Structure 1
């Protein structure tokens, strides 16, 4: 009965969803006050979008690998996501002899599909609001520890109540800085196999140069299939598994689009900070992000030096490099966009209005000082935050520290066992060593350790820095690593075969790793009270901000839970520093295949194209995928509100049919995680017709098209 009531509430309010700004939980739509989406072009009922008891659009959308979105496109478990979302799995399945990342891959039958080790997809079963339940036990006067203990206990109870003895994964998340709480019931499928991918030259066409820029010409997609056991339930990989049958698979539109056409995107956006105060933005763009950018660039330079020398290293580090490069450009773009778009000034104006309300007699005791308190918090941990950014990039890229810390604990335990126990434990230890060193370039990692620690020593304030890292000779750290038990697979295996507890206790790399981790823990303890106050002040500020504007519908920040955003096909103001390759201003909402060929540079790492692709374009055999205007579409623009995590999300028309796959934002609005700019913020997507043409014509994998429902 409760489920029916929730659905009815949803249906009564759905048609008032406001277009463009906001990434909304489906069950939050009842809060909105906006335009009538039927007039905007929506033709679906609320139940066709979200239903607990019946199949709906939500059942076709999955979280892919924990950091992207994908959509089911056939009743045989076939899914589409971005090429860059599948990038790490494609690279892991590649070798210099069978280089799927460089050459592409197409399975001509299901038995040729490649199991992607460690990859899973997550289906949302249902969600519900438990704010009243949890908030009834909380108040702003209790200690941070008491608050945490109550919340943790409620989380655990809610998970137990809804997991059905482990059948489902239950996640409880806080929203609005801890003012509301929702739980999400998921089903995770762990047998996912690579079906097809275009070569890197198509899937990543434009490289770092075109990343975050418009116009784009990137064929950013990959194809996977989800498998289940014979009963349709999630299962670990097994040759006997069968393609899972989703409750809903998206029909695919070949009709195209025009400016003003309704669009909606459903996906799993990762993280936004739309309620960040002005001084938080100042900290971010003046201190935190510059540290991130600099450390990322140092790491990228080290990786590229060795990747350019060796194809195996290029494949082994391809995913890591791509991830670092993507956020390197994003962070720098955010710094530039915040300054150009006067984001801080806008925030200050909003805060001035809030402060006027907060100082009213009836509000002052609860909210009068909260902004000043937040400003004080930022000044208190400013240097610590800078250290965190250099530290995070060091830990992400200097693998020797993590290897020594994680493997060191395991080897110590192994060394302490008696002979009989060692025999039992040895296979586990050997498996861990095989996994850790499988794709490790020792020389690269030695130089990475030197470079990242040296940068840390130069940039981090000594009052907040790790004493262990600040004291070492950064120029000689590679020698320390190379003389360590953890230097190579061979040296680690030598220890396994000749365990010596005294030797591992004295290992200099392990001492460095353990000292660094211990320093991090002590810093966390040192700032615990400030962090507690900061969390409370953030919660109180957002509570007051919402109360100060009762006429405004506040959407929650993204936090990797399923959201819906609506908008329309639109253009983007042209820039003098962009090559529009003959696109007319009125048509600046799409790019076509001739523009892609116009960017072609033979032998260029970012703009080369396969000869087969060029030959197909020359023949102009675009079949049913050509637009009615005569062009072959590649990418297009809409004004939907997305962020990282939405990569791979379906762009849908008003009838829930797939138009394309979202894969990027635009550099003009890289401040979008902080503030939404309706004039500039855009979603860049790959046209599904380009996806299908590439599968059928380039990949000769037309059998996959036959699984799908095409709407002409």
Structure 2
């Protein structure tokens, strides 16, 4: 899933100042108190109650978390939900086949019966939230160990969840903020019957591929459309032909007016993670140890996947989503290394921490805060090598299915062998389903080569920290030969061999299986912590919490908004151009046009090919009602909103709460933005909603979809 990263100037941290207008991912419940007046000055025409209300429908009722990792929005009274193409990518690939390749060729359902249900896809509606900081912090004290503190907090969280789940109707999540100095609970309602309505061809939805990823100017139609279904009473229900389209409490009207420089822009969504409080040592560790290992490990897996994907379209479909996700983070992490290094972010943070340490060691603060900075720095210095090792190992198990699958399936199979016939009969359906799912996107020749390549890399680069005994032994020989021999002997080499084992299970077979032994050792190595490491982590957790508390108390850091953690947030800013760029044909460098897209066209190229129909329609200026007043077809545009990964698919709204675009990316200059925010460099890249509608209506001929929506001209 796309993590959109944003960046900030060094000077902001050297001299703390009030939060800039476009900085911050804000809780909706505090909009009226903290942001509403500022937003009105910038162009907001809605009341705070129209944005967030518990008792009346509001904008928040149209915003959903999409399948746990992206954002989407309701755009019709009949349950249409709009998100990014890359957010729907996995579901589209799952529903595709060589004969009906919706990922490659696109798809639009002509009617409700043609809408298709992926195996597992859900949307989450936000119901309400509240502050429970006093309640939760009231059950802990400074004398508790971190383990005792965590236990007490979790017990109180369980009570809060039970009190607010409506007898199982709702999902309740209690989350820490400001590094455990505040707590809020969130109430959600999940709908699991979500069906594909339509998607543009990949040459539109992913135009530019990895080359253009995180870059501006962009020309990408990154959108797809689904529909949420419910039972006849509007309640969540498992898939059934009897289900009906959900009628949401609110859906977004869609504006055809377009945008201009300095227009107000508001984004609501579920940003995944920011680390604006990260200490200098953590930034240094990421730049010098963790991220370089991540980049190298990801590239190793990608190279093998790409080789097989290029040779076979069936394999390409199987691994399309996995490859896209790996490639996205590969480029992201390299961009983070470059940006954080270029702007000396760690040095800036260290300067702030030096000021804090001076404040912390004043007589009145020393007992509580005196050792905070030294404890944090000690933690990072002693875990740098481990962070590199862990990143190599994590990329092994993320890109090599054989790295984790034998252990995850094997533990269940071991339990199965030890049960009697009656209990086995009860376990069999669940195990069979798990096996089918595990091998649904699996190609053995590719998996063998990925495992061999990743083992070779890990054994070489992870050795300074220490390797599991199994890997040390394999490293004495040839990795390819080991993998070939191991898969020949292992029941986990194919789905059929695992299913055959279920028919005649024998105790001891799994425990001796070479891939199970390897997988178990790898996962044990990743999870294992010595007593010294646990002590280091406990000291760090307490000190980091105190650092954030102290920075807020001392006013050395004036950030008022909490870090992103996949909870609903609002950010606001404006349409904001970057300096003129000769690569962009637009009059102002805050948007791109279809003319610019056609100029990038490369026939037969994986990244820059496009349907000839688009070229012909652009030549004829066949834009319909979606044309901009300047006579061109706008494709993407820029705003300076503060967002990050998880905001993919988020609606971009004008001052009236009308949909003007979909957020889908950030610019590479702003790659360090989850750590430190820069209002000069940071931009959010959005699909112009008019281009979305043009693709649906004019290019795809699915005008019946447009007719469902509330269009504002």
Aligned mates of 2:463, 2:398 — CA distance in 1? 20
TM-score by length of 1: 0.94
SS at match of 2:90: helix
Structure 1 range deviating more: 505-514 or 183-192: 505-514
CA separation in 2, counterparts of 1:398 and 1:34?
Answer: 48
Report the counterpart of residue 603 of structure 2 in structure 1.
Answer: 602
The answer to whether the 8 A contact 1:17-1:34 is kept is no
Change (3 A) 1:104 1:140: same
Residue equivalent to 2:507: 501
Contact kept? 1:457, 1:470, Cα under 8 Å = yes
Contact 2:43 2:655 in 1 (8 A): yes
Q: Tell me which residue corresponds to 1:711.
A: 712
How has the CA–CA distance of structure 1 residues 506 and 604 changed in structure 2, closer, same or farther, with 3 Å as cutoff? Answer: same
Which residue number corresponds to residue 703 of structure 2?
702
The equivalent residue for 1:559 is: 565
Distance 1:214 1:393, change over 3 A: same
Query: What does residue range 28-177 of structure 1 map to in structure 2 within 5 Å?
Result: 28-29=30-31, 32=34, 36-177=38-179
Tell me if 1:487 matches 2:490: no
Partner of 1:10: none
Tell me if 1:200 matches 2:202: yes
d(CA) in 2 for partners of 1:698 and 1:496? 50
Measured against aligned partners, the alpha-carbon deviations of 1:537-565 in whole angstroms (never above 9, x if no partner) come to: 11000000001118934211100000011
1:311 to 313, 316, 323: 313
User: Cα offset for 1:629?
Assistant: 1.6
1:477 maps onto 2:482 in alignment: yes
> What is the RMSD of the two structures over their aligned residues, measured on CA atoms?
1.8
Are the counterparts in 1 of residues 309 and 319 from structure 2 also a CA contact under 8 Å? Answer: yes
Q: Which residue of 2 aligns with 1:454?
A: 456
Deviations 1:653-679 (A, max 9, x none): 111000100000000010001100110
1:230 maps to 232
Shift of residue 489, structure 1, vs aligned partner: 1.6
Q: Is there any run of 5+ residues in structure 1 with no aligned partner, and where?
A: 1-15
Provide the C-alpha distance between the structure 1 equivalents of 2:277 and 2:504, rounded to a whole number of angstroms.
56
Moved more, 474-483 or 208-217: 474-483
Specify whether residues 425 and 36 from structure 1 end up closer, same or farther in structure 2 by C-alpha distance, changes over 3 A only: closer
Report if the CA contact (8 A) 1:466-1:520 is conserved: no
- 1:627 and 1:104 map into 2 onto residues whose CA distance is 25
Q: CA contact under 8 A between 2:31 and 2:48: conserved in structure 1? A: no
SS at match of 2:168: coil
Taking structure 1 as reference, are residues 287 and 65 closer, same or farther at Cα in structure 2, changes over 3 Å only?
same
Equivalent pair of 2:352/2:556 in contact (CA under 8 Å): no
| Correspondence for 1:359 | 361
Q: Which runs of 5+ in 2 are unaligned?
A: 1-17
CA contact (8 A) 1:32 1:553 kept: no
Give the whole-Å Cα distance in 1 for the aligned partners of 2:417 and 2:367.
60
**Does the 8 Å CA contact 2:221/2:687 hold for their aligned counterparts?**
yes
Correspondent of 1:269 among 255, 271, 291: 271
Matches within 5 A, 1:187-586: 187-473=189-475, 474-479=479-484, 480-523=486-529, 527-549=533-555, 552-574=558-580, 579-580=583-584, 582-584=585-587
- Greater shift, 140-149 or 649-658, is seen at 140-149
TM-score normalised by length of structure 2: 0.94
Instruction: Say which SS state the counterpart of residue 706 (structure 1) adopts.
Output: helix
Q: Does 1:630 align with 2:631?
A: yes
The alpha-carbon distance between structure 1 residues 386 and 165, as it changes in their structure 2 partners (threshold 3 A), is: same
* Gap change, CA 1:76 and 1:511, over 3 Å in 2: same
- Cα 1:18–1:672 change in 2 (3 A) is closer
Paired residues of 1:126 and 1:186 also in contact (CA < 8 A): yes
Counterparts of 2:482 and 2:611, CA distance in 1: 43
Choose 462-471 or 400-409, whichever is displaced more: 462-471
Shift of 1:609: 0.3
Matched-pair contact (CA < 8 Å) for 1:201–1:607:
yes
Deviates more, 1:298-307 or 1:495-504: 495-504
Question: Whole-Å Cα distance in 2 between the matches of residues 625 and 378 of structure 1?
Answer: 53
SS in 2 for 1:501: coil
CA distance 1:626–1:496, shift in 2 (3 Å): same
- Partner of residue 6, structure 1: none
CA distance in 2, matches of 1:627, 1:67: 33
Q: Could you tell me which residue of structure 2 aligns to residue 4 of structure 1?
A: none
Q: CA deviation at 1:66?
A: 0.5
How far is 1:106 from its partner?
0.3
Q: Which moved more, 1:59-68 or 1:464-473?
A: 464-473
How far 1:618 moved relative to its partner? Answer: 2.0
Contact 1:464 1:523 in 2 (8 A): no
Q: 1:304 to 1:652 in 2, by over 3 A?
A: same
- Structure number with greater CO (CA < 8 Å, separation at least 6) is 2
* Contact 1:137–1:150 under 8 Å retained in 2: yes
Separation in 2, partners of 1:501, 1:617: 66
Q: Deviations over 1:547-606 (max 9, x none)?
A: 11189342111000000111000111246xx722x233xx10000111000110101110
- The equivalent of 1:12 in structure 2 is none
Shift of the alpha carbon at 1:687?
A: 0.3
1:649 to partner: Cα distance: 0.3
Match of 1:642 in 2: 643
Q: CA deviation at 1:533?
A: 1.0
Whether contact under 8 Å (1:260, 1:569) holds in the other structure is yes
Q: 1:331 to 1:31 in 2, by over 3 A?
A: farther
**How much has 1:421 moved relative to structure 2?**
4.5
Deviation, 1:37, is 2.2
Distance 1:257 1:382 in 2: 46
* Deviation (angstroms), 1:406: 1.7
Which position in structure 1 is the counterpart of 2:689?
688
| Cα drift, residue 461 of structure 1 | 3.8
Indicate how the Cα distance of structure 1 residues 17 and 273 shifts in structure 2: closer, same or farther if over 3 A, else same: closer
Structure-1 separation of matches of 2:246 and 2:625: 29
Listed one character per residue, the Cα deviations across residues 620-645 of structure 1 (whole Å, up to 9, x for unaligned) are 11111111121111000000000000
Partner of 2:24: 22
Distance 1:39 1:502 in 2: 71
- What CA distance in whole angstroms lies between the structure 1 residues aligned with 2:598 and 2:29? 45
Q: Is the CA contact (8 Å cut-off) linking 1:650 and 1:661 kept in structure 2?
A: yes
Take 1:434 and 1:113, find their aligned partners in 2: how far apart are those partners? 24
Q: Distance in 2 between matches of 1:17 and 1:225?
A: 38
Deviations 1:156-215 (A, max 9, x none): 000000001100000000000110000000000000000000000000000001000000
